[in-house]
Amino acid sequence: MSTAPIALSAHAAAALRQRHAHVFHRPLGKRLLAPLMLLGTLAYLVFCFFFFNVPAVLDNAQWDRAGTYVADWYSWEATPRFRFKDGSVELEWTRSLLGPNPDPDWIVKTGPDSYTTSFGSPDNSVEISPTAVVAVIDGVRYPVPVTADGAVLPANAPASMSLKGGRVTVDYGFAGLAEVRNTQVYVRHRFFGWANFFFDPSSDFFGMDAGQLWQAALSPDRLDPARPNWQAMALDFLYNSEWQHLDVLDKLLQTIVMAFVGTLFAAVVAFPLAFLAARNITPNPLGNWLMKRVFDFLRSVDMLIWALFFVRGFGPGPIPGIAAIFFTDTGTLGKTSTEALENVDDRQREGVRSVGASPMAVHRYGVVPQVAPVFISQVLYFWESNTRSATIIGAVGAGGIGLKLIEAMRTNQDWENVAYMVILILIVVFLFDNLSNAIRSRLIGTTRH
């Protein structure tokens, strides 16, 4: 059946406009309200853009350094140095991740005092000798003169070569770079992945591939006479000196315990106190007002400030973190529970009271069933949220993986460790989010039925 539009007569249209004048003849102020709010928001953003001097911040930002930090999350660097000493070239390693005697295939000794280090292929390499340094870029050779005052940029140098402070930098993109100085050639060779994630160079299993590790785990010939190979393998993994898996997992467990215990204590304390703050449950204006102000005080101080306060009082560790979560969540849960109690349906209370129930029974059967779903939902949400918050307060000394995370960031060299811990935190938050949603759905659904 077609639905053609119905044409109104002029009289009917006028009558319709008259009956609904507030719709067809809105005041000018109301009509302009939305555009004015949009213009005001845009003006505020423009003001903030110049007030915080965003153009200067963007101009002074060190984007190349930011790119290096991001690359350090998913890759690692080997940093050999080729030093010029007494007419020869000596190879040295800075923080070697290749074991005590590194011999990578991308460094070839071409003579008694000369080396070639390649970046992915021979067409991208640096040839180093006591008398000359040659950068090979896409198969083209660029000699780099080295004087007492520093390296000299070749006249025909491409854009990937630059000179700054007497140092010529040859950039090979993700593969790394070489920095030619008057005393040495410093190489930063980058590789995708996390170096030594499973075993550090001191382990008997260092350098083994997956097949070799499987054979070693099943082999009756023990590398360590004190234990089977699979146990030694597990211990070497957990006590990896570079990644410290056991310590990271221990700190992650501390973070989980901090969030759970702090939230649990806050829920146990906030719920009964909310009955004292609710006007319709405890008709005492002074008591209601005081309890609400206590809740306001506890939640108005940020969790991070509470953590700093308790760290000064109790020292670093998970106890200050638990206390900070407990104080903040007691105030927030107390306020939300009070509001829920003050909005309960009094008819259920009157029904329970009409059968001669005691005041405690009235609260138990007439009030708690109404607010329990809301309270449980909020507690579960806070438990999930505090798993993230515990990481932040751990960074100020309240224990947990946050403290481990900030330690790795301070070194400015262990960004792969930072990425590892961030991924663990994301996994935990994801699991707790799903667990919290499942528990919330089951409990609230059971309550409703």
232 closest CA partner among 216, 208, 253, 243: 216
Measured between alpha carbons, how far is residue 215 from residues 17, 197, 205, 220 in Å?
A: 87, 20, 11, 10
In-domain check, residue 7: no
What distance in Å separates the CA atoms of residue 325 and residue 266, rounded to the nearest whole number?
8
Structural domain contains residue 127: yes
Write down the pLDDT at residue 8: 65
Whether 121 and 270 share a structural domain: no
Last residue of a domain, one of 147, 166, 192: 192
Residues 252 and 177 in one domain: no
User: pLDDT for 381-415, tens place per residue?
Assistant: 888 888 888 888 888 877 788 888 888 887 777 78
Confidence tier at 219 by pLDDT (50, 70, 90): confident
**pLDDT score of 449:** 40
Q: How far apart are CA 107 and CA 196, in angstroms?
A: 20
Assess whether pLDDT exceeds 50 at residue 275. Answer: yes
The CATH number assigned to the domain holding 271 equals: 1.10.3720.10
Residue that is last in its domain, among 177, 192, 207:
192
pLDDT at 179 over 90: yes
Asked if residue 249 and residue 187 are part of one domain, the reply reads no
Average pLDDT, the chain: 85
Residue 336 structure tokens: 């939300």
| pLDDT at residue 228 is higher than 50 | yes
Mean local confidence (pLDDT), 87-116: 86
- Residue 291's CB is within 10 A of a number of other CB atoms, namely 20
Q: Which pLDDT value is given to residue 119?
A: 92
Per residue in 49-62, pLDDT (tens digit) is 888 888 888 888 77
Please indicate, yes or no, if residue 34 is contained in any of the structural domains: no
- pLDDT per position as a tens digit, 14-40: 776 667 666 666 677 777 788 889 999
Looking at residue 447, its pLDDT comes to: 43
2 versus 227: the higher-pLDDT residue is 227
Length reported for the chain: 449
pLDDT at 448: 42
Distance CA 83, CA 63 (A): 30
Taking Cα atoms as reference points, which of 341, 322, 337 lies closest to residue 263? Answer: 322
**pLDDT bracket for residue 4 (50, 70, 90):** low
- Asked whether residue 302 is domain-assigned, the answer is yes
Q: Would 207 be classed as within a structural domain?
A: no
| Same domain, residue pair 351 and 430 | yes
Is there a single domain that holds both residue 136 and residue 265?
A: no
Q: Of 192, 209, 226, which one is at a domain's C-terminal end?
A: 192
**Average pLDDT estimate for 177-184:** 91
**Do residue 331 and residue 434 come from a single domain?**
yes
**pLDDT (0 to 100) of residue 358:** 73
- 177/251 same-domain check: no
Residue 96 contacts residue 78 (beta carbons within 8 Å): yes
Local confidence band at 218 (pLDDT 50, 70, 90 cut-offs): confident
Q: What confidence score (pLDDT) does residue 73 get?
A: 86
User: What is the span of the domain harbouring residue 127?
Assistant: 77-192
Taking the complete model, does pTM exceed 0.85, yes or no?
no
Same domain membership, residue 255 and residue 389: yes
Return the minimum-mean-pLDDT range out of 142-146, 172-176, 365-369: 365-369
Does 180 lie in the same domain as 260?
Answer: no
pLDDT, position 311: 87
Among 69, 75, 68, residue whose Cα is nearest residue 197: 75
Position 379 in a domain:
yes
Same domain, 389 and 252: yes
In the block, tokens 């211990």 appear at 235
85 domain-assigned: yes
- Do 298 and 375 lie in one domain? The reply is yes
Asked whether residue 283 is domain-assigned, the answer is yes
Q: Total structural domains in the chain?
A: 2
pLDDT of residue 238 exceeding 50, the answer is yes
Characterize the bridge pairing of strands 161-164 and 150-151. unpaired
Question: 314-370 pLDDT, tens per residue?
Answer: 888 888 889 999 999 999 999 998 988 888 777 777 777 777 777 777 777 777 788
pLDDT for 220 beyond 70? yes
Same structural domain, 179 and 258 = no
Neighbouring CB atoms inside 10 A of 353's CB total 16
Cα-trace Rg, the chain = 34
Please state, in angstroms and rounded to a whole number, the distance separating the CA atoms of residues 301 and 324. Answer: 10
Mean pLDDT throughout 100-107? 85
Pairing of strands 75-85, 88-94: antiparallel
How far is it, in rounded angstroms, from Cα 224 to Cα 396? 41
What is the structure's pLDDT at 341?
A: 86
